Amino acid sequence: MIKQLRTTSAVLLLAGLATHTAATASEQSYNQVSLRAEAHQEVAHDQMQVVLYTEEQGTDPARLAADITKTLNQAISTARKQPSINVKLGSRSSYPVHDSKGQKITAWRERAELRLESTDFSTLSALTGELLKTLKMANMQFSIAPKTRISSEDELLKEAISAFQARAKLVSEAMGSNSYKVVNLNLNSSGFARPPMYARSSKMMVSAMADQESIAPEVEAGSSQVSMIADGVIEVGLP
Task: Report the alpha-carbon distance of residue 79 to residue 77 in Å, rounded.
Answer: 6
Predicted pLDDT of residue 66: 96
Q: What is the CATH number of the domain that holds 76?
A: 3.30.70.360
**199 in a domain, yes or no?**
no
Residues of the chain with pLDDT > 70: what percent? Answer: 75
Task: Report the alpha-carbon distance of residue 188 to residue 230 in Å, rounded.
Answer: 7
Predicted pLDDT of residue 195: 55
Mean pLDDT over the full length of the chain? 82
Q: How confident is the model at residue 221 (pLDDT cuts 50, 70, 90)?
A: confident
Backbone phi, psi, residue 228, to 5°: -125, 125
Predicted pLDDT of residue 218: 57
Mean pLDDT score, 42-68: 94
Closest by CA to 192, choosing from 163, 232, 223, is 223
Q: How confident is the model at residue 23 (pLDDT cuts 50, 70, 90)?
A: very low
**10 in a domain, yes or no?**
no
For residue range 172-211, what is the model confidence (pLDDT) as tens digits?
Answer: 999 999 899 999 999 998 877 655 544 444 344 434 433 4
The total domain count for the chain is 2
Predicted pLDDT of residue 20: 43
Q: What is the CATH number of the domain that holds 179?
A: 3.30.110
Domain boundary residue among 143, 168, 203? 143
For residue range 124-152, what is the model confidence (pLDDT) as tens digits?
Answer: 999 999 999 999 999 999 999 999 999 99
What would the DSSP string read from start to end of 183-207?
A: EEEEEEEES-SPPPPBPPPHHHHHH
Q: Give the domain range for residue 172.
A: 31-46+145-194+223-239
176 and 121 in a common domain: no
**Residue 224 pLDDT > 50, yes or no?**
yes
**25 in a domain, yes or no?**
no
For residue range 78-109, what is the model confidence (pLDDT) as tens digits?
Answer: 999 999 999 999 999 999 999 888 889 999 99
pTM (2 d.p.): 0.69
**118 in a domain, yes or no?**
yes
Q: Which of 4-13, 68-77, 100-109, 158-167 has the lowest mean pLDDT?
A: 4-13
**63 in a domain, yes or no?**
yes
Domain boundary residue among 120, 143, 166? 143
**Residue 56 pLDDT > 60, yes or no?**
yes
**Residue 110 pLDDT > 70, yes or no?**
yes
Rounded to whole angstroms, what are the CA distances from 175 to 61, 147, 178, 230, 235?
77, 42, 9, 21, 11
Q: How confident is the model at residue 16 (pLDDT cuts 50, 70, 90)?
A: very low
* DSSP-assigned beta bridge partners for residue 184: 233
Spatial neighbors of 226 by CB under 8 A, at least 6 apart, are: 40, 41, 42, 43, 144, 149, 152, 153, 156, 189, 190, 191, 192
Predicted pLDDT of residue 172: 93
97 and 73 in a common domain: yes
Predicted pLDDT of residue 10: 38
39 and 94 in a common domain: no
DSSP-derived letter for residue 239 is: -
Predicted pLDDT of residue 201: 42
174 and 157 in a common domain: yes
125 and 93 in a common domain: yes
